[in-house]
A and B are shown apart, each in its own frame.
Chain A
Amino acid sequence: MTGFIRDFMEKMMPQPGGIDCGGVMAQLYEYLDGELDDPATMEKIRVHLEKCRRCYPRYNFEKAFLHFVSDQGHASAPPELRRKIFQTLLEEEGPH
């Protein structure tokens, strides 16, 4: 199938999920963050992403970015700080 016919057919097809690409992109972060309250909207976006070859790669890229940041950004409290904090709490309690 040539690109022209494919583009034409895509134009003739209804928007996947009943939502257009602009609507999906505007809510992409909320979708990825699990912040959409309306289950119907979530489902529309899910279906759209599954079928849309323009939106899916964008979604996939943003998802990779967010996973990456959440994996890499952590720092653990140093043991010495932990020790100091327990000491502070003991001092806060004062003599009994």
Chain B
Amino acid sequence: MGEEASEKQKEFESEALVHLDTLYNVALRFTGNASDAEDLVQDTVTKAYRAWDKYEPGTNCRAWLVTIMRNTFINQFRRRSKQPSQVQFDAVEDTSVFEQVQDRDPEGSFFRFIVDDEVKQAIQELPEEFRIPVVLSDVEGLSYAEIAEILDLPVGTVKSRLFRGRRRLQQRLYEYAMEMGYIR
């Protein structure tokens, strides 16, 4: 083994491994637990490294990596669990939380009282169809076009899943805030 890291390795570290937190975060949302998430990140990184000559420098490395992760997840991990069912429309998506709180807390101050673990839990409870777009957009800051490419969906579908996912997440956090007495 050479003393010095190879050029490929250096390049991979500076362009791909800077996105390790994103990969871990997204893997957690895909798998729902830390141990599977670590396996998924490892598999993704190994595949990406082997395919590094197919990556075009200067293009969107983060989206490229997340696409590899998504495919890896579908091919390897999902077999272990049940296929997700098509998500039915839920009446919860009909009303926005704002309508329910506008007289008591129109600025949404109650969000600030909700602890990190509770938010992660609420995100995890979203059906996968909504969870992944919400995480990619709202936590990782990816654009609709990037998410559409990663998930192989039309942009319009990404928009509607984000809308529905956000409504469900808001409602879940609102119910939690009510239970905890952060909002009356």
Contacts and interface: CB of A to CB of B under 8 A. Distances in A.
17 contacts: A33-B137, A60-B108, A62-B98, A64-B107, A64-B109, A65-B97, A69-B123, A69-B138, A73-B123, A73-B138, A77-B20, A78-B34, A84-B38, A85-B45, A89-B9, A90-B1, A93-B1
Contacts of B64: none
Contacts of B28: 75
A35 B143 contact: yes
* Interface band, chain A: 20 to 34
Contacts of B46: 88, 92
A87 to B, nearest CB: 10
B112 interface: yes
Contacts of A61: 97-98, 101-102, 106-108
Contact of A74 (B9, B21, B98, B109): B21
Contacts of A82: 20
A14 B48 CA distance: 55
Interface of B: 1-2, 6, 9, 12-13, 17, 20-21, 23-25, 28, 34, 38, 41-42, 45-46, 49-50, 96-98, 101-102, 106-109, 111-112, 114, 116, 119-120, 123, 134-135, 137-139, 141, 143-144, 159, 162-163, 166, 169-170
Nearest to B116: A72
B119 A69 contact: yes
Contacts of B144: 33, 35
Contacts of B116: 72
Contacts of A85: 17, 20, 41-42, 45
A29 interface: yes
A58 B21 contact: no
Contacts of A78: 24, 34, 38
A21 to B, nearest CB: 14
Nearest to B123: A73
A76 B111 CA distance: 22
Q: Which 5 A-B pairs have the closest CB atoms?
A: A73-B139, A77-B24, A64-B108, A68-B111, A72-B119
B130 to A, nearest CB: 13
Contacts of A88: 42, 45-46, 49
Interface in A40-84: 57-58, 60-62, 64-66, 68-70, 72-78, 81-82, 84
B41 A77 contact: yes
